[in-house]
């Protein structure tokens, strides 16, 4: 089985090292100094105090890598539509696109029971670029749990977690899902195949939707924003609005809002990804994490006054920093 990781940053690089070390036929698409370092010295992973360096096949030209069995997309959501056409050389008749992207996925309404089946989401797939370019029948969902960072070109530091939950849009335990699960498991990663992956998407999205923009607006770490009376109330209201949307779409939450917020506080003095992106001058995942939930509110008829307010604020904050258009 040939596996290509498209977007070999922190998470993609972490997967790449684990797969390469296990002997999988894996290649990576990257660019810039990070790619140059991988091609020159291999890809290095620092995990639990141990340093591992493996030679990897890496390129900025997908055509050089050929058709794959699996293409695992680990880019940020806003970075995917512009590169859909560039990915074409990787995709053959039987290629599976594994969507390991944060937020509401572009394929959310594909094979979803109920009256919204087939609905497209402009906030995460403007112009239906992914729906039309990949085709939703190719997609295998993935919820990414690990945290990692690129500490220098070609070097990944693993922080925590090793689970990549997989799921078909229709909830089936397909051969392709089970085969990828086995590949990832052989590399020391947890890769359960879930019958209701959308439930997991929402539990993770709960925190990303609220904690990320609030932290970018206030520059507060998770432990602070989850315990301050004012910001905790804002986060809670956003999560309650999101829960009503999700439940109208058939999602069942395994925990309640207050427990989810307590879990965020327990992480400690963590700087969210959106705050890190703001500080480092990188585009933020505003549409995938916040605007998408607002759009789902419109689809389901659920008012989202708190989400609307925070979205307006974080969009303006990003625009004034030159990070959103």
Burial 304-323 (b: 16+ CB within 10 A, else e): bebbeebbeebbebbeebeb
- Give the distance from CA 196 to its chain's centroid: 17
Residue pair 311/213 in contact (Cβ under 8 Å)? The answer is yes
β-partners of residue 73 are 6, 99
Query: Which one is catalytic: 41, 190, 204, 252?
Result: 204
Q: Residue 149 pairs with which residues in a beta bridge?
A: 157
Residue 18 known to be catalytic:
no
Question: Comparing C-alpha atoms, which of 45, 57, 36, 38 is closest to residue 14?
Answer: 45
What's the CA gap between 286 and 205, in Å, rounded?
12
Element containing residue 220 per DSSP (H, E): none
Q: What's the maximum distance between 2 C-alpha atoms anywhere in the chain?
A: 54
Tokens 């810039």 belong to residue: 32
- Provide the annotated active-site residues: 204
């Amino acid at each position: 089985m040939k596996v290509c990781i498209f977007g070999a940053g922190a998470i993609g690089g972490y997967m790449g090292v684990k797969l390469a070390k296990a002997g999988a036929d894996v290649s990576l698409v990257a660019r810039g100094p990070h790619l140059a370092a991988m091609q020159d010295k291999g890809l290095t992973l620092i995990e639990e105090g141990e340093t591992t360096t493996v030679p990897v096949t890496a390129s900025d030209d997908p055509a050089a890598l050929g058709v794959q069995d699996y293409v695992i997309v680990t880019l940020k959501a806003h970075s995917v539509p512009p590169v859909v056409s560039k990915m074409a050389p990787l995709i053959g008749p039987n290629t599976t696109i594994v969507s390991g992207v944060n937020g509401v996925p572009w394929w959310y309404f594909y094979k979803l029971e109920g009256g919204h089946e087939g609905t497209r989401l402009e906030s995460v797939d403007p112009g239906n670029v992914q729906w039309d370019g990949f085709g939703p029948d190719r997609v295998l969902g993935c919820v990414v749990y690990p945290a990692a960072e690129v500490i220098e070109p070609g070097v990944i530091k693993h922080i925590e977690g090793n689970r990549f939950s997989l799921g078909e849009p229709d909830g089936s335990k397909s051969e392709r899902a089970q085969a990828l699960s086995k590949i990832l498991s052989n590399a020391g990663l947890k890769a359960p195949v879930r019958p209701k992956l959308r439930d997991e998407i929402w539990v993770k999205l709960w925190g990303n939707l609220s904690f990320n923009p609030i932290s970018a607006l206030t520059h507060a770490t998770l432990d602070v924003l989850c315990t301050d009376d004012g910001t905790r109330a804002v986060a809670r209201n956003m999560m309650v609005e999101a829960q009503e949307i999700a439940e109208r779409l058939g999602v069942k939450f395994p925990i309640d809002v207050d427990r989810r917020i307590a879990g965020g506080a327990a992480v400690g003095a963590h700087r969210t990804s959106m705050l890190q992106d703001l500080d480092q001058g990188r585009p933020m995942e505003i549409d995938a994490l916040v605007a998408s939930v607002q759009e789902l509110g419109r689809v389901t008829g659920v008012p989202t006054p708190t989400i609307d307010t925070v979205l307006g604020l974080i969009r303006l904050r990003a625009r004034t920093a030159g990070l959103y258009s």
